[in-house]
Structure 1
Amino acid sequence: MTGWGRSRRPRAGAADDGAGPRKPAGVRRLSLRTVLLIIVLVPSLTFTPLLASGMNQLFSQWRTEQAQMDLATSLAGKPASDLFFGLDAERRLTAEFQAGLRRGSAGELATARAATDRAVNAFLPLSSLDTGDAPDGLADAVSRTANSLGRLAEQRRSVDAGWADAQKSYDYYSGLIESAIGVLTVLSRTDEGEVSNKAQLLVDLFWVVDTLGREDALLARGWESKRLTREEYRLVTDAIGARRHLLQTRVLPGLTGNETRYAGLMNSQAWQTLTVLEGQFVTPGSATEVGQVTLRGNRSMWRSSADTVTRQVLELLRLRFDNVSAIGYGHADMIFTVFVIISSVGLLALGLVIFTSWRLTRILRRRIDQLRQDALELQERLPDVVARLERGQDVDVDAEAHMIEPTQDELGELGHALNLARRSAVATAVRQAEQHRGFQRMLQRIARRTQILIGLQLKKLDELERRHEDPEVLEGLFDLDHLTARLRRYEENLVILGGGQPQRRWRRPVRLLDVLRAAQGEVQDYRRISIEVEGGPWVAARAVGPLVHVLAELMENATAFSKPITPVEVRAAPVSRGVAVEIEDRGLGMEPEQYAAANELMAAPPELDVMTHAEDARLGLYVVARLSANLGLQIELRSSAYGGTRVVVLLPEAMIVEAPEEEEVPPAEAAGQPDVAEAVPTSRGDEPLPARSRGRAMAQVAAQAAAQNGAPDRNGAPDHGGEPAPLPQRVRQASLAPELRRPVSTQEPAEQDTGPLRDQPRRSGATIGAFQRQSRRRRTGDDAFPTPPDPDSEAGSPTTEDR
């Protein structure tokens, strides 16, 4: 059976056996884009925190050093130093006021107190200053100093009222000055080591000034009485020793740069005078003066030299302060410059890393995409190569491969491997196409040879049918004749699947009704098929053979997949775009997805090689799809209202032609045509649908009987002179349309013969046998009256017109 077949359900357990290896569950492979993005982001994200950390560290260091220098110079350093100098001057003047050294000391003291008050007012806000970036201990030092300043007003009132003891006043002011020096000491400890070292000498200079102030305040008590207590003497000598120690061991050795001009500070005239006076100040007292020492020296000389030395120390202090400030701010500026440079270079490097990574990634993606495009081009080129090979064209493997120019890297090696794969794929495609073409040729050659044998078999069957009259023998011959006609169509299927075309061709158009009957005659259960044609459309000669084949396949499928008792209706009618032929059965039908698959196959017929992957080789489906594509037919399968399948075949307008002009029939042939129609013929070869050759003998017998029994009457019937009329004789091609007739050559009785549509073999054999027996008896005159025909042979024996 060559029908495409139908099934209600797909085959159980049918799985996609050709599926490739599956990935393990839960494993998700990253795409190339994601991998390349990771390559770009990983170094960028790794470098960015390092750069940000370095930049933040530099910025924090610059901000801290800048804040510390601001505190040491302007925010806290200047108020603290002003407070120091103000308290130092007030301490000396307070001592002179308490000693009654001079009358104008009260006015100078008031002036000094006003200067101190201004310094105190500038210093006290430091208690609320943000010391987040300040050196450790600054807040405590400021707090201690501020607490000591809280007793300053009380101390002044005691001094003014004369209640305050000179030693207690001295101790108070000295302690307050030490607190101010403590604030300056804390400010000198910065995060930069060089600045801290330079600032330490600056603190030592403050101590030098403090020792001069201590000595001056103690001496102020004894200038009037020329005496000092031994405690006062001890304090004076301690101050002198401390000042000399600081200058000789710490200050002068630490001078650098423009400060070295003060290296001979202790060798100056004022310093020498001060040193001499300090040696003359005190001498051991007499025995009667226990606990006191005599103060010697000139007070004015002391005042002059002390002021000069103090001024020189202050000049050195200011110079050192400027140097320390320059060093501190310079280092901070250097850190800021480094921060800017590193930030710029880092950001530039980061941008360069990102840009380079992105650029290299893009180049890599472009090259990979190029390789992908080359692979896709090969995928698109291979079908074209195969199609050209199928058309018989020669293909150059090297020219079709389009080799990729390799490079000296891994992608170049991949390109070389792809070149090898491309060449191998093209060569394999060429080899397979050649093998496929050879297989098609072999299939066509075998089918053609088989068709020759089938033609010879039909010829032999025709000879046997003319030779034998036994109904049983004729029944078997007709059965074999019908099977051989179906076998011929199956062989044409192989030719079509092998790339060939049916050999049956016609020179003139044929009625669509005759085409449908010819297709009906090639179906085994043809009696169930009813044909109805609206109008009289004609089919172009070039499309008759393939159309007969397509309709025969569709009709056979309809009869094969419906119950034997149900009819198959074939209807044809003109439509707007041609002629529509509907073939409708009452079988089981198909599932919607099966209809969709069949319609898709009809729209795009595959090559023969797809059948190797099919589970069942349904040749009729592929044959119909191939022929309909060549003819331009539109075939659609849909569900029928009866539950079966309805196939709609749309014949395009180009296939429908006008009816040809009627040819004049020769008088001799027209006179010998009876009214009994012959069976509907099928066709093969290059001629119109031919009639069966076995009617040729009957036509000759009928002609002889007509000559013996008399001339025809006025109506064309022969005159038998009162004798019984002979039995009707079969005349070849009597029932064919004029365009399907052709002259019959006695030399070639079976070359163009095809099997006609016939009734059931048993009735056909009995009918022909009875016809031959009555003809023989009539010719020999054995019986004056005809024998009544066999009821089985006449009753219910369908004529060709009923078929």
Structure 2
Amino acid sequence: MASSRSIRFKITALLVIPLLSLAALWIFGAAVTTRESANLLSVSALYDNIGRPAEDLTIALQHEHVLSAEYLGARSQRNRDALIEQRQRTDEYRERMRRLALGPDAQQALSTPAMRTGFADAMAAMDRLDATRSAVDVGSVDLPALTREFAKFSDAMQRLVTSMSVVNDVSIQQRTRGLIAMAYSKEFLTRERALASGALIAGRTMHPTERRLFARLVTTRRFLFDQALTELPAGVREPFATLAASGSFHRLTAMEDALLAGPGLEYSHEQLRSITDEVDGSYQRTLTQAGETLVAAARPMAVGSFVRAGIAGVLGLLAVVTSLIVAVRVGSGLSRELRELRNSATDLAGVRLPRLIDRLRRGEQVDADAEAPPITVRSTTTEVRDVGTAFGTVQRTAVHSAAEQARVRDTSGKVLRNLARRNQTLLQAQLKVLDGLQRSVEDPDILRELFRVDHLTTRMRRHAEGLVVLAGGNPGRTYRDDVAAIDALRAAVAEVEDYTRVRVLPMPNVTIARDAAADVIHLCAELVENATRFSPAATDVTVRGELVARGLAVEIEDRGLGLTDEEQWALNAKLSSPPEFDPTETDRLGLHVVARLAARHDIRVELRASAYGGTTAIVLLPDSLTTVHRADTTRPPIRALTPVPTPDARTSVPARLPAPDPGAETSDPTPLPDPETQASGPAHLPGKAPKPGDAAPDPSSPSESSDSPDSSGSAGSTGSPGGGLPRRVRKKSPAAQPQWERPGTPEERSPEEARALLSSLQSGWRRGRAAGEQDGEEV
């Protein structure tokens, strides 16, 4: 997170965070002091609105506790009447406390969460008082359970009082803690008094459970009284010491010892009430007097605390402001110097260096020293000047390195292009040699093997051209005339290893510009190769074309496993905007070639998911590269540039026209029908060789044209002596315009024409063998 911040932000954070910490400490100290002073000032409001009503309610609950225990023991009407009267007084005190505590003064005085929580718990405990009263009325509770129930009410009230007495003044805190302990001691006196009264009024001794509870109550009361007496300051301790030395207190102690030692029947209920009423009254008067004294002493202490807090706050504020001014001046200067240094470095990395690299990539001559002037920073800080000098050194090194890398990259590209062109020259010579062998050999087996070598050589030539494209060059293979789309796609299929799985469907009557025909064939060959490689061997790859509003759309569809959405998105991004070729990236080099060729001719290539689960590559050839011909335009016979399948291949390219019979005397190629006529003919299914007569109807069949003046040949082909192989004109494109007059002498054929002719011958041989096998089976 911090690494994405600006220099100004980091400098500001470096200076401001300590200042904020100091300011936070000052604010915290002032707030605490002010809050404690306010708490001291609000002691009077708390005592009048909550403390005094809570004290009165606690006394009423203690009396109701004793009367409820006596009613459980005697079950007399007199005790019942006294209990009902006390309950009414308790309810009055409860409503008075609720009314005063919910007033605005009391709610404002409840300034801390502990106070508000204690008040809510006390009110919730008071709401459960009616359930306890019902249990007493029906007699479903015994004396120990009654003691525990009333203890919940008293404990809630004591917690409320404790939460209101939390202050940081040592003297007040000491007094408050001692008085709270004394109030708890009085509460335990009420509990042991109620337990003993319930047993004595019934004229019985306490049960073992009651006696154990009574012993705990007596022990706790005495402990709390002694502890509070030692914690109280001298001015507050004397009234409680006088109480402890009184005769009534000693009689209470003697009675407790007697009840603990034996049955305790020597004390009557009236004696118990007399002793405990006297001690309880003295207890309560002493507590009330000490509480009022404490509240009266809190106001002057609060005023003094306010004065001290104000002085400390002013001094702290002056210190914070002074530190802030000094820090801002120092930080602003340093931030300005670093900002200038950052701007210089940003200009180098984002403007000058990329511009220099682009110029070097375009082959321009660049003066590295002139493009890397020294970085100057106006700074009074030694370290900042040193950093500026270091950036200048880095700048010069980066510029020289970029120039050297550009030179090395250009040299490497030239070496790769040179090697690739040498391979092209050798492969072209090899194709010529193979062409001569194919024209001189008539043995079908030897021709089949020659075609395999020819096919491998053609693929090697395509890979050599791909290397030239990746190295930034132009393959150099061009055609003298525009090429028909169907011929271009068949030529592309012929350059693929697994060509027998490819089905080329009928195409519109469209020709491709001669300047782009070779690159289009190469592009489609790479996509078809990719489709056959990444799909099962038992499936077909379909190639179809269709005229669209913006040109000719060619779809190459496979039935493989397809691509994930992430892979498809990444490949489409690479095809639409080809990145600079990285020699270390060896996967899918064909797509790099496709992207380069598509960008060169403004061809759009996109990969999409196929309905068969595979991938469909859509190639959109723009109008500038295609020419649409009318369906009735006279076209010369075009040889199908489809490679010859091996004997064990399962099919030829789909929708391929039937080749001439090897035993026929004529060597004229089969004319290619118009797209509309071809589309109406039966398409050959994969895996089934077409029978003689399955070809699409043609306006001018070879038999009909043999007697005409134009039946002597096309595209420079001529019959060889003795029914030999046909001859072709060298360097003629697959879509070359026909020559309607037979030349006087046979012309040399190009390797592409020889390969296409051999493909047609071998297709005819396969159909003949298939027909012969079927006739034999029928016999």
Between 1 and 2, higher relative CO (CA 8 Å, sep ≥ 6) is seen in 1
Whose Rg is larger? 1
TM-score class, shorter-chain normalisation, is 0.3 to 0.5
TM-score by length of structure 2 reads 0.47
